[in-house]
Amino acid sequence: AQSVTQLGSHVSVSEGALVLLRCNYSSSVPPYLFWYVQYPNQGLQLLLKYTTGATLVKGINGFEAEFKKSETSFHLTKPSAHMSDAAEYFCAVSPMEYGNKLVFGAGTILRVKS
Amino acid sequence: EAGVAQSPRYKIIEKRQSVAFWCNPISGHATLYWYQQILGQGPKLLIQFQNNGVVDDSQLPKDRFSAERLKGVDSTLKIQPAKLEDSAVYLCASSKQDYTDTQYFGPGTRLTVL
């Protein structure tokens, strides 16, 4: 069964510092991979996704993630944190098979200090 | 383009009562999803519709939860009777085709069962 592990339920960074949110998955075949962001009292918004092709994926708001098959990882990064990045971030996976569901990690709350 | 609409935004009920949530997906989106997000956890798929047919309801507690998507457009999710552990945010999402397409989420309905 698919599973997703997000290391660190809370991450705190200073404004302008590097943001690194970790995601590891378990899958017998390389899956599709997603990062979503959730602001308070709002639904989830897609940041970026990896399906095939280039393993470094660029998303909205300056975020990017790299798919590393050998490490079964899909970590999210942003070179310089902004106060508006404070939110909860979810990693999700889905196998490349029609009809299988999206499986989310437990989420990481990002706090940005001024 | 209008987003995914959900109502109500908040609902408080007592255990053993019934409750219903409504979702109107983005126009033209064939696939509709209902997720349950318990505090501190990632969203968990309850049911997935493709047009008005059910694709996956393996994690729907069918003894108390039901969902329908009449005419392949809007959808309702019902809980009857509610239990304390049903307290959660219920998210509706839609996508053009299947899960590999970007899922657009509504703001959710926060249910509190007392």
- pLDDT recorded at residue B35: 96
Percentage above 90 pLDDT, chain B:
79
B32-65 residue pLDDT tens:
999 999 998 999 999 999 988 998 898 999 999 9
Q: Tokens 């397409």 belong to which residue? A: B101
B41 in A contact zone (CB under 8 Å): yes
Percentage above 70 pLDDT, chain B:
96
B39 in A contact zone (CB under 8 Å): no
Residues whose CB falls within 8 Å of the CB of residue A15, separated by 6 or more in sequence, listed in order:
A81, A82, A83, A112, A113, A114
- pLDDT recorded at residue A18: 98
Across B4-17, average pLDDT: 96
Report the C-alpha gap between B90 and A32 in whole angstroms: 24
> Token pair of B5, please?
């609409």
Contact state of A46 with B45 under an 8 Å Cβ cutoff: no
Where does chain B show beta strands of DSSP type E? Answer: 5-7, 10-13, 19-24, 31-37, 44-50, 53-56, 65-68, 75-79, 88-95, 104-105, 109-113
DSSP secondary structure letter of residue A101: P
Nearest to A90 among B4, B42, B99 (CB): B42
